[in-house]
């Protein structure tokens, strides 16, 4: 690992911890993504995490806040764009027809994408708006 990669890993650790401390499981390799997507039979929220400001100020807080909803996904997972590149690229393969976007959030049921919130529906929005997008999707799919 070069100095830049080591620095970025160190910098991004608190951003990982924000989600894992809230109960999210990380998928860090393409194999872990494939295993999860092929074996999971429940609804899951998948957060594609990022180091950008809208991930810190909007996406992560909204994802965590949305889990206070009565109806919510059975599983909560995360991949980290720019850090776990192979895992992120593999997860995006499951989001057929969706442009790569980070941060972003997906609701899957089994291995099937049911709902997707791209960066364009996160950046510039209020946390409450994003929480509402998520909880509305939970009502429909969970």
Q: What residues act catalytically?
A: 52, 54
Count of CB atoms situated within 10 Å of the CB of 136: 13
Interatomic CA distance for residues 66 and 133, integer angstroms: 9
Q: Which residues contact 22 (CB under 8 A, 6 or more apart)?
A: 63, 64, 67, 76
| Cα 109 → chain centroid | 14
């Amino acid at each position: 690992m070069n100095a830049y990669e080591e620095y970025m890993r160190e910098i991004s650790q608190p951003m990982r911890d924000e989600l894992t401390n809230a109960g999210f499981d990380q998928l860090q390799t393409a194999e872990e993504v494939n295993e999860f997507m092929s074996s999971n039979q429940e609804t899951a929220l998948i957060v594609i995490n990022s180091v950008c400001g809208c991930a810190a100020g909007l996406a992560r807080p909204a994802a965590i806040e949305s889990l206070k909803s009565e109806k919510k996904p059975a599983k909560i997972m995360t991949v980290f764009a720019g850090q776990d590149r192979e895992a992120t690229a593999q997860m995006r393969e499951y989001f057929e027809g969706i442009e790569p976007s980070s941060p972003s959030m997906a609701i899957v049921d089994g291995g099937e994408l049911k709902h997707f919130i791209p960066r364009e529906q996160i950046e510039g929005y209020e946390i409450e708006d994003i929480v509402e997008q998520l909880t509305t999707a939970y009502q429909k799919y969970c």
